[in-house]
């Protein structure tokens, strides 16, 4: 049992000391309105101390929705009989260029575990990434799923800066129920190998999938232990055709509290406010919880999909830099330039 008050725990975090599991749980369990207000205000203060008014933004290119896996929570799981696409390299490069022109700080190349790319040792993906780097001069994050060390070597060799791979939970039993027939250790090892190769890594957790508050605290601590510089939480959204389609999406307060606690634990981290859950309407609350990165910016009419809410606000142009900047302006914040992003994370 932790006897410290909420005020003392927050003061400890603001003093730069890492919180322990009991303290994190206590923050995650906050229910009183005034304590919640203090949590979010403190997370914003920590962000402001480190980043001033600047918020970063990533362009999202989900270039293949084919996948060999069957994750229980995912719309794109292989057993789901859905329409899929694999964008050709020229289309991917053109989309990345339009995102770069709109002012994003990084291109996030995301794919399912598409066997077509595995069969050719990622030749096409490597070529796409190299061309995007050359044409846009922006850093790249790749979310390729679990891949061999040999392919990670190649990704690192072409200069890809970020490697994103989410456990979604660090409770092994729950992992087995979510990522069916997949290895927890293989997934973690791929991430750690990418880090060893000098890539920055992103770790993520999914909220509302049967985890306990202890599990969330374990995930937050594990993210720090493995040295993830980008740490993400997303609320589960039920997907048609998946085994978890009848499970309710959680109250968003859960995700917001996790964002705030992550900010207090990891002041320098990139913490996404993903447009993929509640669209542009969900941006303000996530920023007010301490997020400093807008993810899932997607060009309208590009034929691309999101992940959790695969069409929400996409064709209407809601997931654009312009829309996001407008909301940030009201909060006294602004989108960082690509140069500012590079100075903060890559130099």
Question: Which positions lie near ligand SF4, rule CB under 6 A?
Answer: 67, 69, 71, 74, 76-77, 112-113, 145
HEC profile for 67-132? CCCCCCCCCCCCCCCCCCCECCHHHHHHHHHHHHHHCCCEEEEEECCCHHHHHCCCHHHHHHHHHH
Q: Give backbone dihedrals phi and psi of 138, rounded to 5 degrees, phi first.
A: -100, 150
CB of 287: closest distance to ligand SF4 in angstroms? 26
Q: Which is nearer to ligand SF4, 56 or 175 (CB)?
A: 175
C-beta of residue 111 within 8 angstroms of C-beta of residue 119: no
CB of 9: closest distance to ligand SF4 in angstroms? 34
Q: How many CB atoms lie within 10 A of CB 36?
A: 18
- Which secondary structure element, helix H or strand E, spans residue 40, and what is its range? helix 33-51
CB of 237: closest distance to ligand SF4 in angstroms? 12
> How would you label 160-179 residue by residue, b for 16+ Cβ within 10 Å and e otherwise?
bbbbbbbbbbbbeebbeebb
CB of 111: closest distance to ligand SF4 in angstroms? 8
Q: Which is nearer to ligand SF4, 44 or 64 (CB)?
A: 64
Q: Which is nearer to ligand SF4, 69 or 302 (CB)?
A: 69
Q: Which is nearer to ligand SF4, 110 or 292 (CB)?
A: 110
CB of 247: closest distance to ligand SF4 in angstroms? 15
Q: Which is nearer to ligand SF4, 103 or 112 (CB)?
A: 112
Helix axes 252-265, 21-28, angle to 10 degrees: 140
Q: Give backbone dihedrals phi and psi of 216, rounded to 5 degrees, phi first.
A: -65, -45
Bridge partners (DSSP) listed for residue 297? 59
DSSP state of 279: G
Q: How many CB atoms lie within 10 A of CB 255?
A: 27
Q: Which is nearer to ligand SF4, 312 or 321 (CB)?
A: 312
CB of 145: closest distance to ligand SF4 in angstroms? 5
Q: Which is nearer to ligand SF4, 67 or 264 (CB)?
A: 67
Question: Euclidean distance between the first and final Cα of the chain, in Å?
Answer: 42
CB of 218: closest distance to ligand SF4 in angstroms? 21
Task: Find, among 170, 232, 173, the residue nearest to 203 by Cα.
Answer: 232
* Three-class secondary structure of residue 205 per DSSP: strand
């Amino acid at each position: 049992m932790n006897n410290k008050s909420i005020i003392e725990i927050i003061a400890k975090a603001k003093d730069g000391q890492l919180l322990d599991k009991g303290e994190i749980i206590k923050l995650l369990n906050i229910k009183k309105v005034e304590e919640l207000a203090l949590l979010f205000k403190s997370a914003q203060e920590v962000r402001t101390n480190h980043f001033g008014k600047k918020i970063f933004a990533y362009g999202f290119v989900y270039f293949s929705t084919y996948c060999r896996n069957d994750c229980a929570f995912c719309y794109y799981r292989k057993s789901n009989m859905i329409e899929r696409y694999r964008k050709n390299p020229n289309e991917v490069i053109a989309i990345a260029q339009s995102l770069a022109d709109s002012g994003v700080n990084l291109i996030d190349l995301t794919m399912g575990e598409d066997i077509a790319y595995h069969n050719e040792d990622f030749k096409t993906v490597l070529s796409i990434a190299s061309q995007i780097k050359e044409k846009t001069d922006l850093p790249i994050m790749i979310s390729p799923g679990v891949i061999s060390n040999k392919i990670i070597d190649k990704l690192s060799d072409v200069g890809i800066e970020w490697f994103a791979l989410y456990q979604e939970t660090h409770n092994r039993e729950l992992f087995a129920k979510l990522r069916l027939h997949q290895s927890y250790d293989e997934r973690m090892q791929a991430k750690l190998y990418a880090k060893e190769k000098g890539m920055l890594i992103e770790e993520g957790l999914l909220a509302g999938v049967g985890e306990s508050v202890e599990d969330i605290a374990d995930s937050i601590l594990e993210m720090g232990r493995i040295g993830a510089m980008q740490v993400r939480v997303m609320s589960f959204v039920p997907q048609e055709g998946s085994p978890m389609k009848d499970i309710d999406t959680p109250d968003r307060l859960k995700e917001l509290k996790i964002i705030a606690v992550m900010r207090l634990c990891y002041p320098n981290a990139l913490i996404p406010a993903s447009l993929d859950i509640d669209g542009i309407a969900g941006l303000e609350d996530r920023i007010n919880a301490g997020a400093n990165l807008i993810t899932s910016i997607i060009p309208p009419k590009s034929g691309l999909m999101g992940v959790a809410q695969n069409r929400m606000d996409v064709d209407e142009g809601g997931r654009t830099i312009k829309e996001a900047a407008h909301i940030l302006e009201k909060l006294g914040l602004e989108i960082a330039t690509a140069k500012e992003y590079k100075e903060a994370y890559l130099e």
